[in-house]
Amino acid sequence: AQSVTQPDIHITVSEGASLELRCNYSYGATPYLFWYVQSPGQGLQLLLKYFSGDTLVQGIKGFEAEFKRSQSSFNLRKPSVHWSDAAEYFCAVGDDSNYQLIWGAGTKLIIKP
């Protein structure tokens, strides 16, 4: 069965430092890849998506992600985090072979002042 792994339950980063959140998936074909952010008490908001084409995608709020087929990864990055980036981040993978959207368990980002 397809799966999505976000290895880090939580990550602590100092404000202004760079960030990388990991996402690995198991799926044979090229999947549809998403990153969502959930701020406290809010619903999820799409940060970026990858369907095809350039493997480096830009999203909102200064985030980017890179699809690496050889590593089955879609890691999220930001060069300099702000305190407002503190949130839960979810990776999701769409599978068009059985019409599923599979969610990772989320990574909680904590920002140190």
Partner 1 sequence: DTAVSQTPKYLVTQMGNDKSIKCEQNLGHDTMYWYKQDSKKFLKIMFSYNNKELIINETVPNRFSPKSPDKAHLNLHINSLELGDSAVYFCASSQGGFYNSPLHFGNGTRLTVT
Tell me the C-alpha distance between 113 and 108, whole Å.
Answer: 16
Tell me the C-alpha distance between 1 and 94, whole Å.
Answer: 13
CB of 16 to partner 1, least distance (A): 26
Site for partner 1 in 62-91 (CB under 8 A): 88, 90
Tell me the C-alpha distance between 55 and 41, whole Å.
Answer: 32
Instruction: Provide DSSP, 11-28.
Output: EEEETTS-EEE--EEE-S
CB of 44 to partner 1, least distance (A): 5
Site for partner 1 in 8-47 (CB under 8 A): 32, 34, 36, 38, 41-46
Q: Which residues lie near partner 1 (CB under 8 A)?
A: 32, 34, 36, 38, 41-46, 49, 51, 88, 90, 94-96, 99-101, 103, 105-106, 108
